[in-house]
Structure 1
Amino acid sequence: MSARTANRGGAKKVDVAIIGAGPAGLTAGYLLAKQGKSVAIIEKDETYVGGISRTVEHEGYRFDIGGHRFFSKSQQVVDLWNEILPDDFIQRPRMSRIYYEGKFYSYPLRAFEALWNLGVLRSTACMVSYLRYKLFPKKDVKSFEDWTVNQFGHKLYSIFFKTYTEKVWGMPCNTMSADWAAQRIKGLSLWGAVTDGLKRSLGLNKKPNDGQAVKTLLETFRYPRLGPGMMWETARDKIIAMGGEVIMGHELENLASDGKGGWRMSARGPDGLTVIEAEHAISSAPMRQLARSIQPLPQTTLDASNLKYRDFLTVALMIRSEDLFPDNWIYIHDDKVKVGRVQNFRSWSPEMVPDEDVACVGLEYFCFEGDGLWSMSDDDLVALATKEMDILGLVDPAKVFGGAVVRQEKAYPVYDEDYAANVEKVRTELEEKFPTLHLVGRNGMHRYNNQDHAMMTAMLTVENILAGERIYDTWCVNEDAEYHEAGDEGAEKRIADRREAITPDQAAALNSLRGVPERIAAEPDTDAQDKRDAA
């Protein structure tokens, strides 16, 4: 128990109780502790913090669960990363490709390259299909399939989007919300990329043919030398050093309102029940789980119960070989195998792999908790991964000498047809009834945020708590943000610096690019507050 955590009647008494020690929960805990607030964080995992951003170690080999590039347009996020981990970032080359029918394609797609690799007949069919849907697009766009077909034509959709997307989500593309496609495949102009490629081939355009008309994708990114878990393990240690608590191996059992705006949280661990009383509660737990745990039970618990999650597992293979490929990861668009993506851990950081003569790769399998893949033994999964790397022609099975399996439950909130309505109902009730309960992060808000967006929801939540009122709408974070790491790092701050010089209409337009919300209500017009807003 920390020096600033009081025990009253067997309960720990803190200013803020936090559920989950992932990027959002640890960001909130760190910033609150810096402001002198007492915090207690519960984490279900017995060993690792960081959630899906953790780094798992096995016999000296380190595995990044999901792959995490440290890039953000928010200067606040970049500054916080540098503050927590000032001396351990390295600069790494960025490379991702798609594997399809034995050939590699750049990711994001470079349309001219893709059409060239596909050959004359298939490329012609792709362009005819593309023009058909540009001239006669689907009118009622509801699903991922509708949106993507309108953007690229049915032929390119079936080659480069359908197989992989259905592997990831375990559901047909025509049942997935168009919101998903609009958020994750934004900004690629097929016709612009083709004409750019033709000009380039004729020497008329010297710009990089990156498949994006305006934006340029990052060629390098920063990365902690021992993996993303290094960031969150350091954040945990700093929270504890400031007097906070991070209680491992404890899962939320009950979160009860005390009727006065505060909370009494019960968490079950190996030694029994831990009870924490707090003025505020921050939750990055899956919204479905949280709704079932709140007392009194929300009326929208049934809506929350309809929210779905996709799980996945990583099978790491140790291979007697030099590095197999330079990519950070490769997307596998091939229905002959179950694997969806292959990571090369040395390409993330050389220090992730202790032996220079060994390649270490991670095969990612998307599944549902309890299904056939999830329930397979570790040995069978290692055998499956070895076989599939052989089928793809990427590894000689005789060179594989070891393996490990890491399972990650509730890795992705599912964007089905009803998710938005269900989330909105739960959010509205909780905000109206419980103003001191704050939802943050990917699963807490049931939004497929990147790491920096999850952190930003926590950073703005801390501002709300410190102000004593809801001055920021955290649900605006990443509402209209683009997935790919395009543009300049920290660009949001520069936009904010220009805010006073632009019109309200311009400010509204820029806000959709910033991914960081404006305040809900105007603050007192003081110089100090203006500086704080700009930061």
Structure 2
Amino acid sequence: GGISRTVNYQGYRFDIGGHRFFSKVPYVNDLWHEILQDDFILRPRLSRIHYKGHFFDYPLKAMNALAGLGPYEAMMVMLSYLRAKAIPYNGGSEDNFEQWVANRFGYRLYSIFFKTYTEKVWGIPCHEISADWAAQRIKNLSLKRAIYNALVGSAKSMNGEVITTLIEQFHYPRLGPGMMWERCAELLEAQGSPTVFGQPVQQIYHHNGRVTAIKALNRRGEATEITGREFISTMPLRELIFSLSPAPPDKVLQAAHNLRYRDYLTVVLVIDRENVFPDNWIYIHTPEVKLGRIQNYKNWSAAMVPDTSKTALGLEYFLWEQDAEWKWPDERLIETGIRECVQIGLIRPGEVLDGTVVRMKKAYPVYDNYYHRSLAIIRRYLEQFSNLQTIGRNGLHRYNNQDHSMMTGVYAARNIFGETNDVWSVNIEQEYHEESRPESSASGERLVPMRPRDHAPEPQHTFDEIVEEAYAGQVVEELFARLDTLAMGIAVGTVSGLICAIGILLLFYHPANMPELSGLTRETLGLDPDWVKIVIGITGASGAGFLLGSSMSLVRNCLIKFYLGFTRKRVEASQTQAL
């Protein structure tokens, strides 16, 4: 179900978006291997960016980027990056995607490699997209780290963690991701737990803080009422709230209405060619086409096509359900896909043998600038239900990878058996952790906020308190962010050298304005008409600027570290006195 299924068309299998199987969680990896065993194959990753007629390796490789952008554009990218490190955009504020990426990569690179594609995916300007999405999807990656990786081949962050965006290989089910869950359903049925399909939930009945039953429609359109003791939902939160009976308060309904979802459409083309391109997928940043990404399913697994002399391409379009293209007939969408693939030079029109279209509503929860508030209200309301848990990407309105979504399900199942795990704590920003078991609570292990179970609901917080709680950690992190000493030194050194060079040029071209200087002073500043001395003067100014900038950054970081340590000890002391 959902976007984890694999569609079979005339023997050609394809995903609802490509799904890599990669996780740092041993439990998830073990479970995947246990379910599929030899059908869980290891695949190399190759993905590139297509931008205005050029292909760029992804992750970034220095020589490839220089060849594609050209020396001038590459120089401008580096200057833009140094500018961002010396003087962060918007005063260092990172409230939205544009600010977050520009401060880490420079505005120039952001506008080339991030802006167009991101706005294709989400359908809204980057300054209206929350910075949370960038923090989740581009974790630990920066221009400096990408260049370092290109030169020395490392794919680890400063603390030694594998950078998610740079993973070079992954596991994949031989017949696509749907194979994993089809096999899982078979194993469950063999143990007496059949999975029921094709019965959409219409209403969720509740009373006194507990869900009592659900009403679903069977394949014949007849209403069926199902009771139970525990309920776990992966429905989009908006649909879940609207399905509750009795209905929630108006402010909760409005919060659910404010949640937005991006819809997904894939046009699959069968190409009469054995090899079209070697990539697993290609990101289409070229702004002249609406196409966002192309999957080459045979390069994920050769078993995804019935005839290896043919190739199946998945052309991915990101739309709103209200868009005109969403309602276009399949034939028109296929024609559009062929035309755009020909336009960017990937295929020839006469080699397309067949095509089909699959639409998927609510594929991506949207991280706009207001989702935090709506989500806080909904989450607070749902906490009153002691036997209802929401999990997965849409159940949490969080852009999780599939391993994160699986762990929310694992934690929810364990909660039913007496544990108190917070499924909302599972995300890409932190390591997975379980809350301590009841028997270990006396050992001093810290408990994270737990979901209320079978007791009175907590006092309702005000709207301002909810918003303050959601943003407090983010504000502190931005306020005390560590400055990059090397980048600051380079930036100040570059500016100092430029100022010195400009000053020398002005003095040479306006000799009347040149002050009376001693010979030694003139030589030191590089003002004698000797190019060697001029270069020495500019280099000296740059070196002095580098020392000044790096020293200022180092001193600032040390002061912040001292202040944070002092504050932490003071808080700990006050808490000890309170106890």
TM-score for both structures, normalised by structure 2: 0.72
Task: Output the CA distance in 1 between the equivalents of 2:211 and 2:82.
Answer: 58
Shift of residue 221, structure 1, vs aligned partner: 1.6
Structure 1 segment 66-465 matched on structure 2, within 5 A: 66-110=17-61, 113-137=64-88, 138-139=90-91, 140-194=93-147, 200=151, 207-208=152-153, 215=162, 217-259=166-208, 261-271=210-220, 272-299=222-249, 300-431=252-383, 433-465=384-416
Structure 1 segment 456-535 matched on structure 2, within 5 A: 456-467=407-418, 471-478=420-427, 480=429, 512=430, 514=431, 516-519=432-435, 523-524=439-440
- RMSD of Structure 2 on Structure 1 (CA): 2.1
**What secondary structure does 2:41 align onto?**
strand
Contact 1:323-1:346 within 8 A present in 2 as well: no
Task: Output the CA distance in 2 between the equivalents of 1:260 and 1:348.
Answer: 46
Deviation by residue 1:372-428 (Cα, 9 ceiling, x = unmatched): 221111111111111111001000111001001111110000000111221121111
Find the counterpart in structure 2 of residue 41 from structure 1: none
The amino acid across from 2:434 in the alignment is: E
Deviation by residue 1:486-528 (Cα, 9 ceiling, x = unmatched): xxxxxxxxxxxxxxxxxxxxxxxxxx3x2x133067534799x
Q: 1:212 to 1:400 in 2, by over 3 A?
A: farther
Shift of residue 89, structure 1, vs aligned partner: 1.2
**What secondary structure does 2:439 align onto?**
coil
The amino acid across from 1:295 in the alignment is: S
2:6 equivalent among 50, 55, 58: 55
Q: 1:212 to 1:265 in 2, by over 3 A?
A: same
Shift of residue 91, structure 1, vs aligned partner: 1.6
Task: Output the CA distance in 2 between the equivalents of 1:220 and 1:192.
Answer: 19
**What secondary structure does 2:380 align onto?**
helix
**What secondary structure does 1:247 align onto?**
coil
Task: Output the CA distance in 2 between the equivalents of 1:428 and 1:146.
Answer: 30
Return 389-398 or 294-303, whichever deviates more: 294-303
**What secondary structure does 2:361 align onto?**
strand
Shift of residue 249, structure 1, vs aligned partner: 1.9
Shift of residue 112, structure 1, vs aligned partner: 5.5
Task: Output the CA distance in 2 between the equivalents of 1:155 and 1:388.
Answer: 26
Where in structure 2 are there 5+ consecutive unaligned residues?
A: 446-579
**What secondary structure does 1:408 align onto?**
strand
**What secondary structure does 1:411 align onto?**
strand
The amino acid across from 1:134 in the alignment is: K
Q: 1:436 to 1:211 in 2, by over 3 A?
A: closer
Shift of residue 247, structure 1, vs aligned partner: 2.4
Task: Output the CA distance in 2 between the equivalents of 1:306 and 1:61.
Answer: 38
The amino acid across from 1:296 in the alignment is: P
Q: 1:291 to 1:520 in 2, by over 3 A?
A: farther
Task: Output the CA distance in 2 between the equivalents of 1:232 and 1:407.
Answer: 20
Task: Output the CA distance in 2 between the equivalents of 1:256 and 1:267.
Answer: 11
Return 113-122 or 372-381, whichever deviates more: 113-122
Return 246-255 or 326-335, whichever deviates more: 246-255
Q: 1:209 to 1:523 in 2, by over 3 A?
A: closer
Deviation by residue 1:58-100 (Cα, 9 ceiling, x = unmatched): 1111011111111111111112112222231122111111111
Task: Output the CA distance in 2 between the equivalents of 1:191 and 1:86.
Answer: 39
Q: 1:473 to 1:111 in 2, by over 3 A?
A: farther
Deviation by residue 1:336-394 (Cα, 9 ceiling, x = unmatched): 11110000010011000111211111100000113122111111111111111100100
Identity %: 48
The amino acid across from 2:183 in the alignment is: T
Q: 1:148 to 1:458 in 2, by over 3 A?
A: same
Return 357-366 or 107-116, whichever deviates more: 107-116
Q: 1:212 to 1:111 in 2, by over 3 A?
A: farther
**What secondary structure does 1:321 align onto?**
coil
Contact 1:108-1:211 within 8 A present in 2 as well: no
Shift of residue 331, structure 1, vs aligned partner: 0.2
The amino acid across from 1:517 in the alignment is: H
Contact 1:314-1:405 within 8 A present in 2 as well: yes
Deviation by residue 1:110-165 (Cα, 9 ceiling, x = unmatched): 45632442111111111121111111112332110011111111110100000000
Find the counterpart in structure 2 of residue 46 from structure 1: none
Shift of residue 479, structure 1, vs aligned partner: 5.0
Pick the structure with more helix per residue: 2
The amino acid across from 1:283 in the alignment is: S
Task: Output the CA distance in 1 between the equivalents of 2:223 and 2:351.
Answer: 48
The amino acid across from 2:153 in the alignment is: P
Contact 1:192-1:212 within 8 A present in 2 as well: yes
**What secondary structure does 1:282 align onto?**
strand
TM-score for both structures, normalised by structure 1: 0.78
Return 286-295 or 297-306, whichever deviates more: 297-306
Return 357-366 or 188-197, whichever deviates more: 188-197
The amino acid across from 2:177 in the alignment is: P
Task: Output the CA distance in 1 between the equivalents of 2:312 and 2:295.
Answer: 9
Task: Output the CA distance in 1 between the equivalents of 2:176 and 2:332.
Answer: 27
Contact 2:116-2:286 within 8 A present in 1 as well: yes
The amino acid across from 1:103 in the alignment is: H
The amino acid across from 1:66 in the alignment is: G
Contact 1:474-1:517 within 8 A present in 2 as well: no
Task: Output the CA distance in 2 between the equivalents of 1:240 and 1:370.
Answer: 39
Q: 1:56 to 1:443 in 2, by over 3 A?
A: same
**What secondary structure does 2:229 align onto?**
strand
Find the counterpart in structure 1 of residue 567 from structure 2: none
**What secondary structure does 2:119 align onto?**
helix
Contact 2:83-2:106 within 8 A present in 1 as well: yes
Q: Work out which structure has the larger RCO, using CA pairs closer than 8 Å and 6 or more positions apart in sequence.
A: 1
Q: 1:195 to 1:92 in 2, by over 3 A?
A: closer
Contact 1:110-1:209 within 8 A present in 2 as well: no
Return 227-236 or 130-139, whichever deviates more: 130-139
Task: Output the CA distance in 1 between the equivalents of 2:21 and 2:155.
Answer: 21
Task: Output the CA distance in 2 between the equivalents of 1:93 and 1:317.
Answer: 23
Q: 1:147 to 1:526 in 2, by over 3 A?
A: closer
Task: Output the CA distance in 1 between the equivalents of 2:433 and 2:311.
Answer: 43
Deviation by residue 1:267-322 (Cα, 9 ceiling, x = unmatched): 12332111100111110000000001112322312111110000111111011111
The structure with the larger Rg is 2
Give the number of aligned pairs: 435
Return 256-265 or 373-382, whichever deviates more: 256-265
Task: Output the CA distance in 2 between the equivalents of 1:154 and 1:375.
Answer: 36
**What secondary structure does 1:412 align onto?**
strand
